[in-house]
C-alpha cells in the first residue's frame, strides 16, 4: 500500500472515502471535499483490483483493497492513522450503500464519529427498519418479509391490493414493483428475487418484502444528524415513471420548500431516527405524503443518490457533501443557507429497448439554463426499459438546471430531450 507524502500535510484534515462510483454521479462530492480535506480513497472489491481514474485530481492517495471486508479496511485505516504524514485519520465516510456497514466498523475501530454498526445494519436491512419503526410507533407502510411465492400470495390477500414488492436489501428502487392482482404479484415476486447488484453481500432467507401501497406524493429528505439533532437539509420531490415499477426519472429541490420547516414532518423524521438508533451522520429518508400524513418508506444511512445532494447545494447554498464530511470528522457542520432557488435533475431514456450504436448531446441545442448535461450510456450498451432494467442500466443521459420556479425547471428539462440523439445498432 502507498504512503502519503510527508509534504502533503497542509493543515487540512485527513479523510478516508470508501468507494467512489461514476464521475457523472459523484464528482461534485469530491470537488467539495478536496478543497477542505486531504482525501484518501479506499477502492476495490472481493478479488478485484481497482485503480482510481477520474478521482485522481481530488485525492492525496488511495489504497486498493477489498472494501467489503471490514477487517482489511480497519487494518489499512489504522496503518494510515499511525503515519506522521497523515496527522491521524480525522474521519471515514461512504455513500455506497453496499459498504456503509463496513465503513461504520472502520470508524468505530478508530474511535471516530459514526452511528453504531447495528444502527447502520438496521437501515441496510429494510425488514429490520420496519420492525424498529413499528416498535416505536412511527407511521409507515405495513410490511411483511416472505420466503416464498405462496407466502407472498397469502400476505397480499391479507393486506389487500394494491401491494408493493421489493428486495429486502437493495436501493434506488431496484426491483420495486406495484402489484394490483395475484397475476401481477407473481411477476413482481420473481422480479424482486431476480434483481441483483454486483458486490451486494447480504443474503436473507425471507428476502422479499410485501408492503401496503401508500398513495400520495413521494419525497426524500437528506438529514444531518449530530449533537442530538436531526436537521432536514434538502427535500427532493421525486418524479417516478414506468409503472408498475417506481423508476426515479427526476427530482426537484426547492430552497424555500415549506416542508423544510414542517413540524409534522420533522417529528416523523426525529422519531424514525431514534427508532433505528441513528444519531451521527447523514441520512436519506424516503416518505410518502398520504391523506393520513407522512409515512416512512425507508431510511438510508448515507447521502442520497441521483445528484440530490448537489441539487440541495444549488437550491439552498448548503453544501451537503461538506456537512457529511464535517460530521464524520466530529466538527460542527456549516448549515448556513445562501440564495434560495429551485434545482432539478431529469434522466432521459430511450423510446424502446435497443443496443446503442452511438449517443450524443448537441451542446448547441441545450437551453442556456442547463448547468450540466451528461451522457450515461455508451456504444455497445444494451438498454432495456424498466422493469427489465433499472436506473444505471437504462438511462441515456441526465441534465441539471436551476431556476426561480419548479415550472421553469421542468420547461428547461423538457427541452433538453431535443438535444439528445441515440442511434440503435442493427439487430438480427
132 lies in the same domain as 279 = yes
Burial 109-140 (b: 16+ CB within 10 A, else e): bbebbbbebebbbbbbbbbbbbbbbeeeebbb
134 lies in the same domain as 146 = no
Q: Is residue 2 part of a domain?
A: no
User: The domain spanning residue 325 has which CATH number?
Assistant: 3.30.470.20
Would you place residue 206 in the very low, low, confident or very high pLDDT band (cuts 50, 70, 90)?
Answer: low
Q: Looking at the whole model, is its pTM more than 0.85?
A: yes
361 lies in the same domain as 325 = no
Q: What pLDDT, in 10s, does the model give residues 308-346?
A: 999 999 999 999 999 999 999 999 999 998 879 999 999
Owning domain of residue 72:
8-112
Of the candidates 171, 295, 284, 278, the one whose C-alpha atom is nearest the C-alpha of residue 225 is 278
User: The domain spanning residue 97 has which CATH number?
Assistant: 3.40.50.20
| 237, containing H or E segment | strand 229-241
Task: Tell me what pLDDT residue 201 has.
Answer: 55
Number of other CB atoms surrounding residue 366 within 10 Å: 19
Q: Is residue 62 part of a domain?
A: yes
> What is the average pLDDT across 216-233?
97
Helix %, strand %, coil % for the chain, to 5?
35, 30, 35
> What is the average pLDDT across 263-274?
98
323 lies in the same domain as 377 = no
From 178, 212, 246, the end of a domain falls on 212
From 68, 96, 112, the end of a domain falls on 112
What single DSSP character describes residue 140?
B
Would you place residue 195 in the very low, low, confident or very high pLDDT band (cuts 50, 70, 90)?
Answer: low
Q: Is residue 29 part of a domain?
A: yes
146 lies in the same domain as 132 = no
Q: Is residue 3 part of a domain?
A: no
143 sits in the region (left: phi over 0; alpha: psi -120 to 50; else beta) called beta
261 lies in the same domain as 123 = yes
Q: What pLDDT, in 10s, does the model give residues 163-185?
A: 999 988 765 557 789 999 999 99
Q: Is residue 1 part of a domain?
A: no
Q: What pLDDT, in 10s, does the model give residues 294-318?
A: 999 999 999 999 999 999 999 999 9
Q: What pLDDT, in 10s, does the model give residues 94-111?
A: 999 999 999 999 999 999
123 lies in the same domain as 237 = yes
Q: Return the axis-axis angle of helices 263-276 and 117-124, rounded to nearest 10°.
A: 110
Q: In angstroms, rounded to a whole number, what is the distance separating the alpha carbons of residues 41 and 4?
A: 12
> What is the average pLDDT across 62-68?
95
> What is the average pLDDT across 366-386?
94
195 lies in the same domain as 284 = no
Would you place residue 50 in the very low, low, confident or very high pLDDT band (cuts 50, 70, 90)?
Answer: confident
From 340, 373, 388, the end of a domain falls on 340
Amino acid at each position: 500500500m502507498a504512503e502519503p507524502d510527508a509534504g502533503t500535510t497542509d493543515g487540512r484534515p485527513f479523510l478516508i472515502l470508501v468507494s467512489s462510483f461514476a464521475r457523472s454521479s459523484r464528482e461534485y462530492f469530491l470537488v467539495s471535499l478536496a478543497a477542505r480535506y486531504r482525501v484518501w480513497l479506499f477502492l476495490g472489491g472481493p478479488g478485484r483490483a481497482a485503480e482510481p481514474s477520474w478521482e485522481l485530481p481530488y485525492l492525496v492517495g488511495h489504497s486498493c483493497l477489498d472494501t467489503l471486508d471490514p477487517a482489511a479496511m480497519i487494518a489499512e485505516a489504522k496503518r494510515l492513522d499511525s503515519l506522521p504524514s497523515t496527522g491521524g485519520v480525522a474521519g471515514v465516510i461512504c455513500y455506497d450503500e453496499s459498504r456503509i456497514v463496513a465503513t461504520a466498523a472502520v470508524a468505530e475501530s478508530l474511535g471516530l464519529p459514526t452511528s453504531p454498526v447495528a444502527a447502520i445494519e438496521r437501515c441496510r436491512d429494510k425488514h429490520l427498519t420496519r420492525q424498529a419503526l413499528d416498535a416505536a410507533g412511527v407511521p409507515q407502510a405495513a410490511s411483511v418479509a416472505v420466503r416464498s411465492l405462496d407466502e407472498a400470495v397469502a400476505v397480499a390477500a391479507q393486506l389487500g391490493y394494491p401491494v408493493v414488492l421489493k428486495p429486502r436489501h437493495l436501493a434506488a428502487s431496484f426491483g420495486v414493483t406495484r402489484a394490483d392482482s395475484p397475476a401481477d404479484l407473481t411477476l413482481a415476486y420473481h422480479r424482486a428475487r431476480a434483481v441483483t447488484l454486483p458486490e451486494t453481500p447480504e443474503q436473507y432467507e425471507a428476502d422479499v418484502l410485501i408492503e401496503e401501497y401508500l398513495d400520495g406524493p413521494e419525497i426524500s429528505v437528506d438529514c444531518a444528524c449530530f449533537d442530538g439533532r436531526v436537521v432536514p437539509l434538502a427535500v427532493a420531490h421525486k418524479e417516478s415513471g414506468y409503472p408498475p415499477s417506481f423508476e426515479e426519472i427526476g427530482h426537484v429541490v426547492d430552497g424555500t420548500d415549506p416542508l423544510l420547516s414542517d413540524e409534522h414532518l420533522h417529528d416523523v423524521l426525529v422519531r424514525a431516527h431514534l427508532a433505528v438508533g441513528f444519531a451521527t451522520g447523514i441520512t436519506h429518508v424516503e416518505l410518502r405524503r398520504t391523506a393520513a400524513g407522512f409515512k416512512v418508506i425507508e431510511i438510508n444511512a448515507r447521502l442520497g443518490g441521483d445528484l440530490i445532494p448537489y441539487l440541495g447545494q444549488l437550491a439552498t447554498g448548503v453544501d451537503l457533501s461538506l456537512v457529511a464530511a464535517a460530521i464524520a470528522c466530529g466538527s460542527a457542520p456549516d448549515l448556513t443557507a445562501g440564495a434560495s432557488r429551485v434545482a432539478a435533475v431529469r434522466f432521459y431514456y430511450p423510446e424502446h429497448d435497443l443496443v446503442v450504436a452511438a449517443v450524443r448531446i448537441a451542446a448547441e441545442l441545450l437551453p442556456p439554463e442547463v448547468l450540466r448535461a451528461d451522457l450515461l450510456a455508451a456504444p455497445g450498451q444494451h438498454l432495456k426499459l424498466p422493469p427489465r432494467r433499472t436506473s444505471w442500466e437504462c438511462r441515456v443521459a441526465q441534465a441539471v438546471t436551476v431556476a426561480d420556479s419548479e415550472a421553469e425547471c421542468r420547461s428547461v428539462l423538457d427541452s433538453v430531450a431535443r438535444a439528445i440523439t441515440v442511434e440503435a445498432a442493427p439487430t438480427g
